[in-house]
Amino acid sequence: MSEQAPLAEQPFISHLVELRDRLMRMVLAVLVIFLGLFPFGNDIYIFIADPLMKVLPEGTSMIATQVASPFLTPFKLALVTAVFVTMPYILHQFWGFIAPGLYQHEKRLAIPLLASSVFLFYLGAAFAYAVVFPLVFAFLTGVAPEGVAVMTDITHYLDFVLTLFFAFGLAFEVPIATIVLVMAGATTPEKLGAKRPYVIVGAFVIGMLLTPPDIISQTLLALPMWVLFEVGLLFSRMIQRDRKQRAEEEEQGEADMPAAVGVPAAQSAGAGVAAADIDSAEFEPPDEQAMEDEFDQIEAQFDALEEGGDADSPEPGAASRADTDDSDEDDEDDEDGYDESEGSTELETPDDAPPGWTADDSADMLDEEDEFPARTAIEALVDAKLEQVAALRATGADEEARRLLYEVLSEGDATQVRVARNILDQLDS
């Protein structure tokens, strides 16, 4: 165990090195964009302040109440804009770090969610600038008391608009949050649909907390949140329906697997019951030593069955050898029903044969039996491993099932190997 300790530390160190490299790339990207935007910081601020400048009373303007505000405010705006612009690249770096640890179906789900979340955040910020800002600032400047000159500080204005950008960008992520909750199993589309009145009230409460104290901005935030909640509910129902369909197809494939490998129906039914019992209880995957012990016990049982099977059950050709010479009794593996010691190929008709039974019928029966030899102990052991694979998949222990499938690939016959490869393809997809 002590010799393997350095090997266990190496992957963790490599992950830290990779994380450091990706964080440096993020910082470098933000720095490069910031250096390009900083000379245009004043122009960017004029663009952001344009909705307020259009509704200011004639003869008034924005002011700077602090000494360093004319420099620090455009500096801060350029830095925030750089982060805003490079957000897709930053998310791409995080995705590159966590993607190797995800399954293929998780990647197929995460990529659309990640891309749509970035798009919805940008859409929320654009909605706030184009729709909300003109209405809010017109309302706030219009309700100023008589004799009060509305001259907004540039620092306070920047903080205000950044808060609104963040609020509307986050509010437009409601469909993503809805889909994630449903996919995680925290709730269902039916439960969310039944709680729609509470969701609508909650949207107006969030709009009240995140927007200025006016009914216009509150309504403009609450209504899109409600609409986006309905959109997320629709997509979550579609995703859940697709997951149920795939689960039914997998169950159907597992039900057909025992018949493909020659397992009797009674055994397959017993395996299904056992899998259901395991699934209903709390499953703890066994360790490697326990699995090896279990395989040794199974091999010992099959060896015992192979050695004592001839003594416990009569041979199929015993009736046809009832009248043969006593010299042939030492050959217990002979199931052909004819006298090998004398080289005779003529078969005798059994005493309990049905009317009309001839020696030719006995020869035909022996030919048919020769076409279907009995299964060996190895093949039976591989069948048992395939049954255990089905039980492990039903409980979600895909890694243990995958390990058994690799053993089947090296031990099984052509049919068993083909079944194992099909199951591995299902696990990979």
Per-residue pLDDT of the chain (429 residues; tens, 9 = 90+): 444 444 444 477 888 888 899 999 999 999 999 999 999 999 999 999 999 888 888 878 888 888 888 999 999 999 999 999 999 999 888 888 888 877 777 777 788 888 888 899 999 999 989 988 888 888 888 877 877 778 889 999 999 899 889 888 888 888 888 888 887 777 888 888 888 889 889 888 888 887 766 677 788 888 888 888 898 888 888 888 887 887 777 777 766 665 444 444 444 444 444 444 444 444 455 566 676 777 777 777 777 776 665 544 444 444 444 444 444 444 444 444 444 444 444 555 555 555 566 656 555 554 544 444 555 777 788 888 888 888 888 887 888 888 888 888 877 788 888 888 888 888 877
Is 324 within a domain? no
- Please report whether residue 322 resides in a domain: no
Residues 302 and 426 in one domain: yes
The residues with which 153 forms a beta bridge, in sequence order, are 63
Total domains in the chain come to 2
With beta carbons less than 8 A apart as the criterion, state whether 22 and 97 touch: yes
Q: How would you class 219 by CB atoms within 10 Å of its CB: exposed for 0-12, middle for 13-18, buried for 19 or more? A: middle
Cα–Cα distance for residue pair 117/228, rounded to 1 Å: 12
Looking at the fold, whether 173 and 27 belong to one and the same domain comes out as yes
**Residues 177 and 287 reside in one and the same domain:** no
Q: Can you name the residues that pair with 63 across neighbouring β-strands? A: 153
- Give the range of the structural domain holding residue 149, as residue numbers without chain letter: 13-246
d(CA 320, CA 353): 10
Question: Does 106 lie in the same domain as 156?
Answer: yes
Residues 225 and 297 in one domain: no
CA-nearest of 74, 88, 76 to 40 is 74
Which of 198, 217, 246 is a domain's end point?
Answer: 246
Do 150 and 279 reside in the same domain of the chain?
no
According to DSSP, residue 153 is labeled B
What are 83's two structure tokens?
Answer: 């982060």
Q: Is residue 150 part of a domain?
A: yes
Please report whether residue 346 resides in a domain. Answer: no
- Check whether residue 200 and residue 174 sit in a common domain: yes
Going 398 to 403 to 406 to 407, the CA torsion angle's sign is negative
56 and 123 housed in the same domain: yes
**Residue at a domain's end among 246, 273, 290:** 246
Could you tell me if residue 3 is inside a domain? no
- The pLDDT value recorded for residue 83 is 93
Would residue 362 count as lying in a domain?
A: no
What pLDDT was estimated at residue 326? 47
Same domain, 70 and 41: yes
148 and 190 in a single domain? The answer is: yes
Q: What is the pTM of this model?
A: 0.53
User: Measured at the alpha carbon of residue 214, what is the angle toward residues 212 and 215, in degrees to the nearest 5?
Assistant: 130
Q: Is 367 exposed, middle or buried (0-12, 13-18, 19+ CB in 10 A)?
A: exposed
Residue 102: both structure tokens together: 């995800």
Q: Alpha carbon of 119 to those of 13, 116, 233, 410: distances in Å?
A: 34, 5, 18, 49
| Domain presence at residue 336 | no
Domain boundary among 198, 219, 246: 246
pLDDT at 31: 95
